[in-house]
Amino acid sequence: MISVHEAKALIANNIQPLSPVKLPLSQANQHILAEDVFAICDIPAYEQSSMDGYAIRFAEANIALELNGEMAAGTNTQLTITAGQASRIFTGAPLPSGADTVVMQEKTEILDGKLVIQDRNLSAGLNVRNKGAEMKTGALAMRKGDYLSPAALGFLAGIGITGVSVFPMPKVSIILTGKELVQPGETLAFGQVYESNSYSLKAALNQEGINQVEIFEADDDLEVLTTLLQRALKTSDIVLLTGGVSVGDYDFVLEASARCGIQKVFHKVKQKPGKPLFFGRLEQQYIFGLPGNPSSVLSCFYNYVLPTLAALSGKINPVKEMEAELSSAYKKSSGLTHFLKAHYQNGKVIPLGAQESFRLSTFAQANCLIMLEEETEQVNQDERVKIMLLP
């Protein structure tokens, strides 16, 4: 067996980001930019009013002004005001030629058909968005490596960008092994259990913007598993297998992987839960053999799979590590790194009950994992421990 730190280093050293692809903005949410983006025009493309009011020449703010037309957002006809004139204007509309200031309508009055300004704080250029104030033609809009949030997509659309080069989201296949598994809603026969790993894994993948997920079910049969693994490798960047990764008579993940030409990077990690973890690669495809127990699956997913997915798509690992004070003393045997389901709040972390790998009830309440190194045997109350905040 290898240590947790060795396993993470081996994975990191084997991962390369996926090749960039061009996507329309409508499909680029949650992606990472693969190249810099530059503005293709001035934004705004013209001097623009930032509110409803009247466009004037600031030098004439102290005289009654004649009204000359109006400018609304979307107008494609330019208007000119001359000396002694003002124009009605609305938010987003182009400034009339000859105007340099907009006075808000609440600070004006119409007397005898003329505009009288009643704003003592009026200054030249007030309420005017200058041409190129948001972005100049050719300016750097966003950098390679930037995250495309909803606001970022709106910003890029607002400067006329229609598509971007991004790192794609990995395509993932999940292969569920075990003849004892049945779907929720079906009647449980003797010796059967409800399958839950596909639900937690798919939800965790979707949370990271990964929606191309295919799920396969395999009996405890080497030929069946090999065929399904070959099929998954035809379309996937990452394959996640659950169960069948230990050394029992019906554990066929390692042999099926070898038959498919997958290079074993490591098998078995000094950790609890998730000791039988397997990681392999086939050129630029990556295979994780996860233990079948639900808590083991999620612990391994957050420790190893999620950082891999992030690296492939150019992202920063969404699992954040920090330290917190332990709410109560905890003992364990040396030799294995322990990942404890826990809840973090206000600088304190509370280990939850039901830590067994087959029990998911407390994982459903956890917002972090406590990481106790393999050589640790006891941690005292209020002692600081390392935790992993879950996304």
**DSSP output for 151-199:** HHHHHHHHTT--EEEEEPPPPEEEEEE-TTEE-TTSPPPTT-EE--HHH
Q: What pLDDT does 313 receive?
A: 96
Query: Domain limits at 74?
Result: 48-129
Q: Provide the domain count of the chain.
A: 4
Q: Look at residues 312, 332, 366 and tell me which one is the last residue of a structural domain.
A: 312
Q: What pLDDT does 245 receive?
A: 87
CB distance 49 to 55 below 8 Å: yes
Mean pLDDT, range 226-245, rounded to an integer: 96
Q: What pLDDT does 250 receive?
A: 66
More confident residue, 203 or 353: 203
CB distance 260 to 230 below 8 Å: yes
Residue 89, domain CATH: 2.170.190.11
Q: 10 burial class (0-12, 13-18, 19+ CB within 10 angstroms)?
A: middle
The answer to the question of residue 356 being in a domain is: yes
Judge if 87 and 163 occupy the same domain.
no
Q: Look at residues 312, 340, 359 and tell me which one is the last residue of a structural domain.
A: 312
Q: What pLDDT does 79 receive?
A: 96
Of 262, 192, 255, the C-alpha closest to 233 is 262
pLDDT digits (tens, 9 = 90+) for 156-210: 999 999 999 999 999 999 999 988 899 999 999 999 999 999 999 999 999 999 9
pLDDT digits (tens, 9 = 90+) for 93-146: 999 999 999 999 999 999 999 999 999 999 999 999 999 999 999 999 999 999
pLDDT at residue 249 above 70?
no
Judge if 54 and 142 occupy the same domain.
no
The answer to the question of residue 43 being in a domain is: no
The answer to the question of residue 279 being in a domain is: yes
Of 178-182, 346-350, 376-380, which range is least confident?
A: 178-182
Q: How confident is the prediction for the chain on average, in pLDDT?
A: 95
Judge if 378 and 288 occupy the same domain.
no
pLDDT at residue 363 above 70?
yes
Q: Look at residues 129, 158, 179 and tell me which one is the last residue of a structural domain.
A: 129
Stated pTM of the model: 0.86
Task: Say how many CA atoms lie within 13 Å of 388 toward its Cβ.
Answer: 22
Mean pLDDT, range 69-84, rounded to an integer: 94
Residues contacting 151, CB < 8 A, separation 6+: none
